Amino acid sequence: MPDIIHLLPDSVANQIAAGEVIQRPASAVKELLENAIDAGATSIELIIKDAGKTLIQVIDNGSGMSDTDARLCFERHATSKIKDASDLFCIRTMGFRGEALASIAAIAQVELKTRRHDDDLGTLLILEGTDVKSQEICQCAAGTSFAVKNLYFNVPARRNFLKADNIESTHITEEFYRVALINPQIAFSYHHNNKLVIQVSKSTFKQRIINLFGKNFTERLIPVEQETNVVAINGFIGKPEFAKKVRGEQYFFINKRFIKHPYLHHAVENAFQELIPEKSIPSYFIQMEVDPKLIDINIHPTKTEVKFQDEKTIYAILRSVVKQSLGKFSLSPSIDFEVEPSLDLNPPPASYIPKEPAIKIDPYYNPFDHSKAFKPSNESPRERSNKQNWEKLFDIRETNQNVPENTHIIVKNTQHKLIEDNEQASLEQNHNNIFQLKNRYIVSTISSGLLIIDQQRAHERILYESYMAGLNNLHSVSQQQLFPQTITFNPSDADLLNELRNDIFFFGFEINEFGKNSFIINGIPADIEDTNIKEILEGMLESYKKNMIDVKVDKKINLALSLARNMAVKPGKRLTEPEMQSIIDRLFACSLPEISPSNKKILITVTIDELNENFNK
Ligand code: ADP
Ligand code: MG
C-alpha cells in the first residue's frame, strides 16, 4: 500500500484558514480597519461596493510600508507586532497573529498601494489568490490603501453562502461603528456604492457617540468613570428612560477592542434594575483599561469574547460605578423648582386651603443642647453607617475653614433677620437646618448650599427598599387592629386582592376574606395609619395593575413598588421636624437615594455658587 498522507499546497491551506478568519465581508473590513489603526493613522476611509462583495477598500494615512514589507505582509504569520512569545503578554495592538492579510489574499484580488512618509515613491502590488501578479514603484499618498476585490472569487461555494446585500452591509456598518466609536481620535469616512454613509472628524468619545448615533444622544448620556488598580472604567450609559426593547446600543471595549461579555452586561443590567421596564436593555458605551497580563491572550482575531483573570471584581466595580452614575445624574445642578406634572403626585383635595409656607420656630431651641437632637428610634447599624456616607457626600459637617465667607443661609432663624454674629454662624455650621416647604418638600441646609427633597418620593424610596429587604429576610411588623375594619371592593379588585393576600401578608397586612367582595383587615403594617387603609389598598391594586401592563416587573417587585407608592406620605402632609429628619436619615441609608422607585428625581441641591450666580445675573 502506498503512503496516503500528503501536505496540502499553501494555496489550499490558506483558503481553509481564510474561511476561519474572513467569514464574511465584514470580517475583512474589521481586519483592514484595525491594521490602519495599528499603523497609527489619524484618518481612515472605508469604501464599499455591493456590500463588500465587489470591493472593500480601506485607505489610511498611517505609517505605510517599505516595498519589502508590502510583499511580506501577505505571508502567513508575517507580523510587525510581536517578536517573541513574551510579547504576547503585553499586546496592545489589534492584530498580532499575522493571519489577516494572508487570509484575505488567499480568497480575493488585492491591490495594495503604500508609501512611508519619508519615502518619495511608494509600492503598488497586485495579488490574486495569494499569487503576486505585479509589483511596481508608484506615486501615491503617504499611508496605505488596501483594495480587496471580488471576495471569495475562487471559492464559489463560500460566495454563495453570503447573505443578501442589506444583511452583509449591516454587518459591515456594525464593524465600522465598533471601530469608529472607540477611536474618536481618528477621523473616519464610510462610502457605500459611491454614497457617503457617514463621516466623522476627530473628537471626544462623547461627541463620537453623538456623531454616530444621532444628536438626541446629547441629552441621553450619563458619564461613568472609575479608576481602580484592577480596571479603569470610563464612558457613558444611556439614561434609563431611553432603554429600548431591542439590542443595539451596548458597547464594551477592553483596551480599545470591542468585546461582547454577557457576564459584564449583566453587571450593567443589574445596576439598572428597578429603573427600566423588564426586557428593556440599557444603552452603554463603556471602555475598560485592564493590564494586558490579566487578560487571556488566547483570543482569536475574529472572536469578540475575552477572558479576564479577575472577572468577579470587575463585575462588582462595573455594577457599582454604573449605579453611582445613575444616582448622581439626578442631582440637577440648576435651580429647578418646577415640578413636572407627574402621575404620582396626587392633587390636594378641592377643599384644601394651602397654607403659607411656615417656618416652624422653637423658641426654646438651644443649639448647644445636643441631648434633644432627634434620633430615629429604630436606626439600624446599616442606617448609621450609611448616614455617614451621605454626610460625606454632601459635606454636611464641614469645618469652619471650608465654609466660604459671607455665604451663610440661615433658615432656622428665631429672630426673622439674617444673623451675622459668630454664635449663629457656628450654629449653622454645626447643625443642618430643616424645614418643610408647601408641605411638600423638605429643605435642609448643607454646607455647600441647600438640599431639597421631595417628601413623597423620598418616602417611596425608603419604603420600597425596606420592603425589598423584608422580602429577602423576615416579614414586616404588623400592628394588630383592635377594631378590625371591613372593606368592600369592586369584584375585579376583590379578585386581585384575594390573589395577592398571601403576598402582602409579608408586608404586614393581615387580611381575611369576608365573602361578597368584602375583607376584614386584622393587621396593617406598623408604619401606616389605619384611617386610610381602603384608600391605600385601592391605590395599591391600581398601581399593581398599571405596573403589570406598563413595566411588566416581577410580582414581588410590583407589590413592593405599588405599596411603597401608595403608603408614602403625600404632598400636603405636614411633617414634624423629627419626621423630616428621620426621612432624610433613612433616605440616605438607601442604596439609591436620588431616584424614586418610579424613576423620578428625589432631591436637588442648590449650591451657594449657583445662588451667588443668580444674584449676580
Ligand atoms: P497582524 O495585524 O496580526 O500583524 P496582518 O496580516 O493584519 O497581521 O498584517 C500583517 C502586517 O502588515 C502587520 O503586522 C503590519 O506590519 C503590516 N500592515 C498591515 N496593514 C497595514 C497598514 N494599513 N499600514 C501599515 N502596515 C500594515
Ligand atoms: Mg491585522
**pLDDT tens-digit readout, 404-418:** 333 222 222 222 222
Spatial contact of 190 and 33, defined as CB atoms under 8 Å apart = no
Spatial contact of 258 and 269, defined as CB atoms under 8 Å apart = no
**Cell of residue 247, nine digits:** 439590542
- For the chain, the structural domain boundaries read 10-200, 205-329, 385-617
Which segment of 4-18, 43-57, 194-208, 572-586 scores lowest on mean pLDDT? 4-18
- Please determine, looking at this structure, whether the domain spanning 385-617 carries the CATH number 3.30.1370.100: yes
- Kindly calculate the radius of gyration of the chain based on its CA atoms and give it in whole angstroms: 33
pLDDT of residue 432: 61
Mean pLDDT to the nearest integer, 587-595: 85
Closest to 565 in 3D by CA, of 456, 477, 476, 475: 456
For ligand 1, is residue 95 a contact (CB within 6 Å)? Answer: yes
For ligand 1, is residue 104 a contact (CB within 6 Å)? Answer: no
CATH number of the structural domain 10-200: 3.30.565.10
Which segment of 246-255, 458-467, 554-563 scores lowest on mean pLDDT? 554-563
pLDDT of residue 336: 28
Strand order in the sheet with 478-488: 478-488, 518-525, 510-513
For ligand 1, is residue 45 a contact (CB within 6 Å)? Answer: no
- SS3 label, residue 164: coil
Q: Among 45, 61, 79, name the best residue to mutate to test ligand 1's pocket (greatest count of ligand atoms within 8 A of Cβ).
A: 79
pLDDT at position 119 over 90:
yes
Using 50, 70 and 90 to split pLDDT, how confident is the model at 12? confident
Residue with cell 471626544: 204
| Burial letters 234-247, b for 16+ CB under 10 A, else e | bbbbbbbebbeeee
- Please determine, looking at this structure, whether the domain spanning 205-329 carries the CATH number 3.30.230.10: yes
Question: Which is higher by pLDDT, 153 or 432?
Answer: 153
Ligand 1 atom, smallest distance to 146 CA: 23
For ligand 1, is residue 80 a contact (CB within 6 Å)? Answer: yes
pLDDT of residue 475: 52
Output the CA 259–ligand 1 centroid distance in Å.
21
Q: Among 27, 101, 302, name the best residue to mutate to test ligand 1's pocket (greatest count of ligand atoms within 8 A of Cβ).
A: 101
pLDDT of residue 536: 86
Output the CA 185–ligand 1 centroid distance in Å.
20
- By percentage, how much of the chain surpasses pLDDT 90? 35
pLDDT at position 1 over 60:
yes
Output the CA 470–ligand 1 centroid distance in Å.
59
Ligand 1 atom, smallest distance to 63 CA: 25
pLDDT of residue 399: 32
Which segment of 235-244, 440-449, 520-529 scores lowest on mean pLDDT? 520-529
pLDDT at position 372 over 60:
no
Mean pLDDT to the nearest integer, 1-20: 80
pLDDT of residue 28: 96
The ligand that comes nearest to the alpha carbon of residue 79 is: 1
**Cell of residue 186, nine digits:** 481618528
pLDDT at position 360 over 50:
no
Ligand 1 atom, smallest distance to 143 CA: 24
For ligand 1, is residue 103 a contact (CB within 6 Å)? Answer: no
Output the CA 93–ligand 2 centroid distance in Å.
9
Using 50, 70 and 90 to split pLDDT, how confident is the model at 353? low
Ligand 1 atom, smallest distance to 62 CA: 24
pLDDT of residue 472: 57
Output the CA 604–ligand 2 centroid distance in Å.
50
Output the CA 188–ligand 2 centroid distance in Å.
18
Output the CA 32–ligand 2 centroid distance in Å.
7
Q: Among 20, 30, 38, name the best residue to mutate to test ligand 1's pocket (greatest count of ligand atoms within 8 A of Cβ).
A: 38
For ligand 1, is residue 96 a contact (CB within 6 Å)? Answer: yes
Identity of the amino acid at 400 = N
For ligand 1, is residue 81 a contact (CB within 6 Å)? Answer: yes
Report field, pTM of the whole predicted structure over 0.75: no
For ligand 1, is residue 557 a contact (CB within 6 Å)? Answer: no
For ligand 1, is residue 66 a contact (CB within 6 Å)? Answer: no
Mean pLDDT to the nearest integer, 493-516: 84
For ligand 1, is residue 97 a contact (CB within 6 Å)? Answer: yes
Nearest CA to ligand 1 atom 16: 80
Mean pLDDT to the nearest integer, 121-145: 96
How many whole angstroms separate alpha carbon 243 and alpha carbon 511? 38
pLDDT at position 221 over 90:
yes
Output the CA 59–ligand 1 centroid distance in Å.
13
pLDDT of residue 369: 43
pLDDT at position 529 over 50:
yes
Residue with cell 477572558: 307
Give the Cβ contact number of residue 5 at 10 Å: 4
pLDDT of residue 552: 64
Ligand 1 atom, smallest distance to 31 CA: 7
Using 50, 70 and 90 to split pLDDT, how confident is the model at 148? very high
Using 50, 70 and 90 to split pLDDT, how confident is the model at 10? confident
Mean pLDDT to the nearest integer, 495-521: 85
pLDDT of residue 386: 47
Spatial contact of 106 and 14, defined as CB atoms under 8 Å apart = yes
pLDDT at position 334 over 70:
no
The mean predicted confidence, pLDDT, of the chain is 79
Output the CA 305–ligand 1 centroid distance in Å.
22
For ligand 1, is residue 122 a contact (CB within 6 Å)? Answer: no
For ligand 1, is residue 73 a contact (CB within 6 Å)? Answer: yes
pLDDT at position 44 over 90:
yes
Which segment of 174-188, 208-222, 224-238, 527-541 scores lowest on mean pLDDT? 527-541
In the chain, % helix, strand, coil (3-state, to 5) comes to 40, 20, 40
Mean pLDDT to the nearest integer, 536-551: 81
For ligand 1, is residue 465 a contact (CB within 6 Å)? Answer: no
pLDDT at position 21 over 60:
yes
For ligand 1, is residue 191 a contact (CB within 6 Å)? Answer: no
pLDDT at position 267 over 90:
yes
| Burial letters 94-124, b for 16+ CB under 10 A, else e | bbbbbbbbbbbbbbbbbbbbbbbeeeeebbb
pLDDT at position 32 over 60:
yes
